[in-house]
Amino acid sequence: MKRTTVVKLVTENKLSCGIKVTPQDKDEFTIPVVDVRDGMAERGLVNYILKGSRSQKGSNFMRPSFGSGGNCYQVSQKKAQ
């Protein structure tokens, strides 16, 4: 009987890591664990993940539109007076 295996992937001098999971009779996958204290690149990745999560969840006031730039909110066409 084959069991699910879990391996922690660690990079030297980084707080971010990954978790490699190999379930029974399925393809393996990696769960990224990102820590914003590692630097600006990781901070940008976390902001991108949060933006995607928030647009998927939706908002009561702003409906997402999927423009050429990916997930973004529709900008009002009214001019400021």
Residue at 62: amino acid letter: M
pLDDT over 60 at 70, yes or no: no
CA distance 78 to 76: 6
Q: Can you give the pLDDT at residue 1?
A: 56
CA distance 62 to 48: 18
Question: Model confidence over 16-69: pLDDT tens digits?
Answer: 888 999 888 788 899 888 888 888 988 998 888 888 777 777 666 655 556 655
Total-model pTM: 0.53
Q: Can you give the pLDDT at residue 40?
A: 92
User: The tokens of 76 are what?
Assistant: 């009002």
Q: Can you give the pLDDT at residue 77?
A: 66
